[in-house]
Amino acid sequence: MRILSLSFQGVAVSMLAVNAAAGGLLWPGVETGPGMQLAPTPRAVQSAAETDTDPGTVAVIPFTNISGDDADDWIGDGIAETVMADLESQALLTVIAREQVQSLLDGQGSEIDDLATLALGRKLGARWVVTGGYQRLGDQLRITARMVDAESGVVVQTLKADGALAQIFDLQDQIARELTTDVQLDTTLRSTPARIPAPGSSEPVAGGITLPRDNQAALAERASDAERVAPGEVGNFGVSPRATEAPPAPAPGTAVSAGILTGRVSVTAGRADEVPLIDGQLDDAIWQRATRITEFVQRNPIEGAPATEDTEVYVAYDDTHLYFGLYAHYSDPSMVRANRVDRDQANYRDDTISFYFDTFLDQQRAYVFTLNGYGVQGDSLMGSSGGGSGRGGGGSRGGRSSMMGGMSGGSTSAPRGDSSWDALFDSGGTLVEDGWTAEMAIPFKSLRYPSVGGGQAHRWGFQIARSIRGKDETAVWAPTSRDVSGFLPQMGLLEGLSGLSTSRNLEILPTVTAVQVGNLDTATGGFPREEQPEGGLNVKYGITPNLTLDATFNPDFSQIESDRPQIEVNQRFPLFFSELRPFFLEGQEIFSLSAPVNLVHTRTIVDPRYGGKVTGKVGDMTVGFLVANDEAPGKLDDVTDPAYGQTANVMIGRVRYDLYAESHIGIIATDREFSNAYSRVGGVDGNFRLSDATSVGFQAITSSNRDRDLLATSGQMFNVALNSQGRNLSYGVSGYTIDPEFDTAVGFIRRRDMKALTSQIGYRFWPESWLINWGPTASYGRNYDFNDVLEDENRNLGVNFSFAKSISLGAGVSRDMERFAGVNFDKTGYFARLSVSTLRQASIFGFFNFGDQVYFSNTPFLGTGSRGSLSLNLNPFSRLQSRISATTSRLVDPLNDTEVFDIKIYRAQSTFQFTERFLLRNILEYNDYDHTVGANLLLTYRVNSGTVFYVGYDDHYQQGDLIEDASGNAAYLGNSEFFTTDLLRTNRAFFTKISYLFRY
């Protein structure tokens, strides 16, 4: 057995003593903080007169079972009994009988928070309260304990002991002994109330603890401010052991401790009377008076355990901005992972601190702002599922169920959401001796939030999450539980924001683009060039604080970012390519449905002349309306075609009524009109959260289409799904049908003519040691066509492991039947994946599939195939990032052991960040099947999310004898210049783009 730490802290001069003394209002069922309600005291106790505090009396509360395993509940009672017996034997204090303590605890559950603890001490007339918790990890046990002055709220002593479960009695004795000896409670404690030393002195506080001078002054300020806290507000003003090193201790705020609590924690931002200089240095006077948050707990790897590294966050606001100061401490500064990267890129590799704002407090969507040690910005929109839909989609269900059945999770890192959303805000960061500091100023104009009446304060959902990648640790301010599937319902509260500016947000973003394009003429071998200078305009206007209008004219969609390479050979169903254009990406989560088809895929709007959309909330309704005019359909080769030069008009409408947490019912409609053809879709959907872990959803959609030959078709799509994501057990089942005639010109459908039933289940064990979690998964699915012919049967088994040091792996086996061209093919396949991010300088990710594979042709057969991908990320120093990847696909005919195809795609992307604003990106790509080579260079100078200057160069080559003409024939047959195995340039482009954001 070993004692890991013994620390004495002056912590938390709490307003609870004031509230409890004011008529005992805290205990009898009065709400003491947002989301937390103390249960009524038993009638007999309520009628008893308040007991005067005895300076020599202590109450010992049964220790909390942090692990949550009911079989370990006896340990808490045993620790409390041992502590009580040792305190009584020392004859130092009078110990309140256990029965008297328990009478007030009845009805409070297995845990009570810090507020109720101090209120309990006051009710019992105790001067001191001993509380704590214990956590069992296999055969290891950790016990923590605190002794609190019930009058002042000062934590006079904290203890932590670790050891084997077999040493439980030794651990109990050690905790009891340290409580009674190390604090040196003498007779002075029994007769003299604790007091706050005068500022600047070095006098001891209760328990003989001497605070540093700055800590004493700060503590005195907090004590003197206690009387000014309004009823119902809760104070917890921690004095950090690093207070003399960090910025001066803050003036009183109202941050509730983020210990292991059962209710929602809350923080009230302090109002700033001056604007900080956002440079990453926490030397502005504003941080001395800002609300300070210091207590964080782990979300992973050990849920609920104290964070292993100290974090300080300062919160303040004025009429126009929300301000945050950050101090991320490290016991080993060499573990810091911070790189100078482009916007949104720090989320993937760096240590970060993220802030989540559910401004409507409806648990449907949150704004996310993230910083790394250099102040690199990240921003995103997170939906109720914890992700975003901007770049995903495609309808993953298409007859081939995932090998891992969607149950390969187990990661409890902080969700990021859809990073396509860009907000305008200021930030700065710098590395310091023991970690990093940063500052951030978020304009309220960058957020949507509901209006409140005059004199009322806003209340938002709020969370802070710190990622420490070297430890694979995520620490959060508001504790989260794996028994609850959602992230938004477990957020804390940000309160007290009042008098916010009501001015409308107006953004005007003009763009000017110049492109010179050259393409190979396969008929003549020439290389004609074309210049395309264009201008465009984007406007964003806040109709109300929670409703925004976006309009665009002649939007520029230059290839700033290219599509990721995909294997296109031997694909039975069409490939899905994600949307990359900012205008369509922002707010796309409003139009997203969790359906087997993607009803809104804006890449079908190929060449928009103009577009507009309105998104936001009206009361409890989330609304989205998008219109666009697309010139691409009318760009026909035949000038005599009546549709030549015509444009397509696209409309997308969505209304979602938000019922309660992560629950809604909604309608959606899409329409595309071109010439005399149309494609219309409409339907209803809903999602209902049944419990913390379980939800059920449905979609009922119908389509009506007419082509240019006036042939009309219609069809329906129905889907019902039940999903549950718990700490250990996760499962899901869904049934859906997609009519053979169901179609949409605005969305993406991978496959039709389906009547499918899918199911999946997984169980996860949490050793929370070097092996963080592991568990098996299984899935089963069947799919019939509308003639009731079995088309697919999928059976999968897998197992997944997550280790310490950011290592994870999984493996699985599948046994499937796939019907193609009237033939049933029975297939067996194997799967493995690996992810290693242990080192700051390098990380590796890969997967590999091997087994039977159908060759989709007029004469199909079952071959032996393999598919895989391997990616290596390199960060040799903070300004350079490289990603090298290889994607492969191979098929062999087992009858004669001949190779049908062997495809390898290599891609290397490197980015060098010269300054915070200036970067160079280079992409090289080679496909050894098509024998193509591509190169892309991009210089970026970014002032903010809207003001950007680009200079780009794109060049592509292909082996001459593989070049095809417009008809798909070998080009060299018509032109001898192509009869070569040398690489010939097929297209080249040079472009510049500048955009400047005006904000009013």
CB neighbour list of residue 100: distance below 8 Å, 6 or more residues apart: 124
Average pLDDT rounded to a whole number, residues 290-317: 93
Beta pairing partners, 902: 890
Burial class (CB in 10 A: 0-12, 13-18, 19+), 968: exposed
Under the banding of pLDDT at 50, 70 and 90, the label for residue 3 is very low
d(CA 625, CA 822): 44
Under the banding of pLDDT at 50, 70 and 90, the label for residue 378 is very high
**CB-based contact 316:286 (threshold 8 Å):** yes
Beta pairing partners, 356: 368, 463
Could you give the 3-state DSSP secondary structure of residue 530?
A: strand
Q: Is the dihedral of CA 973, 978, 983, 989 positive or negative?
A: negative
Least confident of 23-37, 516-530, 641-655: 23-37
Residue 760, both tokens: 């999946």
**CB-based contact 359:367 (threshold 8 Å):** yes
Q: What is the pLDDT of residue 143?
A: 87
Least confident of 41-55, 697-711, 919-933, 965-979: 41-55
Query: What tens digit of pLDDT does each residue of 232-268 get?
Result: 233 333 323 333 333 333 333 333 333 333 457 889 9
Q: Is the pLDDT reported for residue 513 higher than 60? A: yes
Q: What is the pLDDT of residue 426?
A: 94
Could you give the 3-state DSSP secondary structure of residue 771?
A: strand
Residue 786, both tokens: 């509308």
For residue 387, which of 488, 470, 461, 282 has the smallest C-alpha distance? Answer: 488
- HEC profile of 681-699: EEEEEEEEECCCCEEEEEE
Average pLDDT rounded to a whole number, residues 171-195: 54
Query: What tens digit of pLDDT does each residue of 218-242 get?
Result: 333 333 333 333 322 333 333 233 3
Q: Is the pLDDT reported for residue 48 higher than 50? A: no
Q: Is the pLDDT reported for residue 427 higher than 90? A: yes
Instruction: Locate the domains of the chain by residue range.
Output: 1-212+227-238, 240-502, 576-741
Q: What is the pLDDT of residue 439?
A: 97
**Residue 964: DSSP 8-state:** B
CB neighbour list of residue 229: distance below 8 Å, 6 or more residues apart: 15, 18, 235, 252, 254
Query: What tens digit of pLDDT does each residue of 825-856 get?
Result: 999 999 999 999 888 889 999 999 999 999 99
For residue 458, which of 269, 256, 236, 228 has the smallest C-alpha distance? Answer: 269
For residue 628, which of 670, 664, 596 has the smallest C-alpha distance? Answer: 670
Q: What is the pLDDT of residue 74?
A: 80
d(CA 183, CA 231): 33
Q: Is the pLDDT reported for residue 131 higher than 70? A: yes
Residue 897, both tokens: 């052991």
Burial class (CB in 10 A: 0-12, 13-18, 19+), 531: exposed
Average pLDDT rounded to a whole number, residues 504-510: 87
**CB-based contact 796:401 (threshold 8 Å):** yes
Cis upstream peptide for 212 (omega within 30°)? no
Average pLDDT rounded to a whole number, residues 268-283: 92
Residue 269, both tokens: 């931002």
Beta pairing partners, 372: 352
Instruction: Name the residue with higher pLDDT: 145 or 539.
Output: 539
CB neighbour list of residue 44: distance below 8 Å, 6 or more residues apart: none
Q: What is the pLDDT of residue 124?
A: 79
d(CA 449, CA 436): 31
**CB-based contact 383:488 (threshold 8 Å):** no
Average pLDDT rounded to a whole number, residues 165-172: 80
Find tokens 């001069």 and name the residue: 13
Residue 397: how many CA atoms within 13 Å on its side-chain side? 27
Average pLDDT rounded to a whole number, residues 528-537: 86
Number of helical (H) and strand (E) elements in the chain, helices listed first: 11, 50
Q: What is the pLDDT of residue 233?
A: 33
H or E, element range at 176: helix 168-181
Instruction: Name the residue with higher pLDDT: 375 or 182.
Output: 375
Residue 20, both tokens: 């409890």
d(CA 497, CA 270): 9
The stretches of 350-446 forming alpha helices (DSSP H) are none
CATH for 1-212+227-238 (3.30.200.20, 3.40.50.10070, 3.40.190.10, 3.40.1190.20): 3.40.50.10070
Strands 2-7 and 54-60: unpaired
Q: Is the pLDDT reported for residue 50 higher than 90? A: no
Q: Is the pLDDT reported for residue 486 higher than 50? A: yes
Could you give the 3-state DSSP secondary structure of residue 559?
A: coil
Under the banding of pLDDT at 50, 70 and 90, the label for residue 101 is confident
Beta pairing partners, 871: 845, 885
Strands 861-877 and 36-37: unpaired
Distances (CA, A) of 718 to 703, 712, 722, 755: 12, 21, 14, 9
Proportion of the chain above pLDDT 70, given as a percent: 79
Instruction: Name the residue with higher pLDDT: 366 or 211.
Output: 366
CB neighbour list of residue 455: distance below 8 Å, 6 or more residues apart: 498
Residue 735, both tokens: 């049934």
Which phi and psi (to 5°) does residue 999 adopt?
Answer: -125, 130
Output Rg (C-alpha) for the chain, integer angstroms.
Answer: 32
**Residue 589: DSSP 8-state:** G
**CB-based contact 532:519 (threshold 8 Å):** no
Q: Is the pLDDT reported for residue 93 higher than 80? A: no
Under the banding of pLDDT at 50, 70 and 90, the label for residue 90 is low
For residue 652, which of 684, 688, 628 has the smallest C-alpha distance? Answer: 628
Proportion of the chain above pLDDT 90, given as a percent: 46
Find tokens 């024998």 and name the residue: 931
d(CA 442, CA 423): 9
Beta pairing partners, 267: 494
Query: What tens digit of pLDDT does each residue of 562-580 get?
Result: 666 677 788 888 878 777 7
In this structure, the chain runs to a length of: 1000
Q: According to the CATH classification, is domain 240-502 in 2.60.40.1190?
A: yes
d(CA 741, CA 578): 25
